């Protein structure tokens, strides 16, 4: 790095998970003033910036090009440019590309700064009427069907809430798998399409909720309430 050049900063900018009005004033300011905005896919990134009324240069960083593109971004930041990284929705890097880039930046001494805002995980947790002072984020089950129930079974002995996510088209599949492992009486909270007009919060037992959602494709976060003993009545 040229010692005479002050490096730029990479901002980790949270963007709306649905409702565009959830963008923060600071996030808008950063997105408008950085030298470039890093997104996962150009089309989605361009659409998001348009919705937010932001015009800026876009770079793509995803699982297909991160190894190469991260090095290019590092060079530009080292030369004094500042950039923002966004995801399609919510807080970047969390379950999205970007960790390899951060690793390089920390090694090179490039400043990294979070611009907090919308996050589906925290939004869903805020809806819980059961203790969430401790919880387990299990994340996304494996894609292959033969590995999924085994993955879920590892959490049967937990006594704190377990949080699960998956792609929208696997909503019914995941609920059915939870039923196979935890039983139809499992207490849960299911948050679907948060902040959108079709937002829906389902609270109760799996056996009561699954029939209402069977076959639907929804963005979701599923929280299993393992604090609560299962009563089979």
User: Does 209 or 68 have the greater pLDDT score?
Assistant: 209
What is the arithmetic mean of pLDDT over 200-204? 97
Task: Count how many domains the chain has.
Answer: 2
User: What's the pLDDT tens digit per position in 116-147?
Assistant: 999 999 999 999 999 999 999 999 999 999 99
CATH code where residue 74 lies: 3.40.1010.10
Nearest to 51 by CA among 83, 15, 85: 15
Considering the domain architecture, whether residues 93 and 165 belong to the same structural domain is answered as: no
Burial class (CB in 10 A: 0-12, 13-18, 19+), 142: exposed
Q: Which of 63, 95, 118 is the last residue of a domain?
A: 118
Question: How sure is the predictor about 96, in pLDDT bands with cuts at 50, 70 and 90?
Answer: confident
Phi and psi for 173 in degrees, rounded to 5? -60, -45
Considering the domain architecture, whether residues 150 and 95 belong to the same structural domain is answered as: no
Angle between helices 25-33 and 42-52 (to 10 degrees): 120
What range does the domain containing 190 cover? 121-224
What local confidence, expressed as pLDDT, does residue 4 receive? 67
What local confidence, expressed as pLDDT, does residue 98 receive? 87
Average pLDDT, the chain: 93
Question: How sure is the predictor about 66, in pLDDT bands with cuts at 50, 70 and 90?
Answer: confident
Question: How sure is the predictor about 105, in pLDDT bands with cuts at 50, 70 and 90?
Answer: very high
- State how far the Cα of 147 lies from the Cα of 206, in Å rounded to an integer: 21
Q: Which of 62, 97, 118 is the last residue of a domain?
A: 118
What is the arithmetic mean of pLDDT over 88-113? 90
What local confidence, expressed as pLDDT, does residue 233 receive? 45
- State how far the Cα of 190 lies from the Cα of 151, in Å rounded to an integer: 19
Q: Which of 65, 100, 118 is the last residue of a domain?
A: 118
């Amino acid at each position: 790095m040229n010692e005479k050049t002050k490096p730029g900063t990479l901002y980790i900018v949270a963007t709306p998970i649905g409702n565009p009005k959830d963008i923060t004033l600071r996030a808008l300011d950063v997105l408008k003033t950085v030298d470039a905005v890093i997104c996962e896919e150009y089309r989605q990134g361009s659409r998001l910036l348009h919705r937010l009324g932001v015009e800026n240069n876009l770079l793509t960083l995803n699982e297909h090009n991160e190894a190469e593109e991260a090095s290019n971004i590092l060079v530009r930041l080292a030369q004094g440019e500042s950039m923002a990284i966004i995801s399609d929705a919510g807080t970047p890097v969390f379950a999205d590309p970007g960790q390899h880039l951060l690793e390089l930046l920390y090694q090179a001494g490039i400043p990294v700064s979070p611009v907090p805002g919308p996050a589906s995980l925290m939004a869903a947790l805020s809806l819980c009427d059961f203790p969430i002072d401790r919880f387990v984020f299990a994340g996304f089950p494996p894609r292959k069907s033969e590995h999924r129930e085994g993955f879920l079974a590892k959490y049967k002995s937990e006594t704190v809430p377990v949080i699960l996510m998956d792609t929208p088209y696997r909503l019914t599949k995941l609920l059915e798998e939870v039923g196979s492992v935890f039983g139809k009486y499992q207490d849960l909270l299911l948050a679907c399409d948060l902040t959108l007009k079709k937002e829906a919060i389902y609270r109760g037992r799996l056996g009561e909720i699954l029939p209402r959602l069977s076959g639907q494709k929804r963005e979701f976060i599923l929280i299993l309430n393992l604090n609560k003993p299962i009563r089979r009545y």
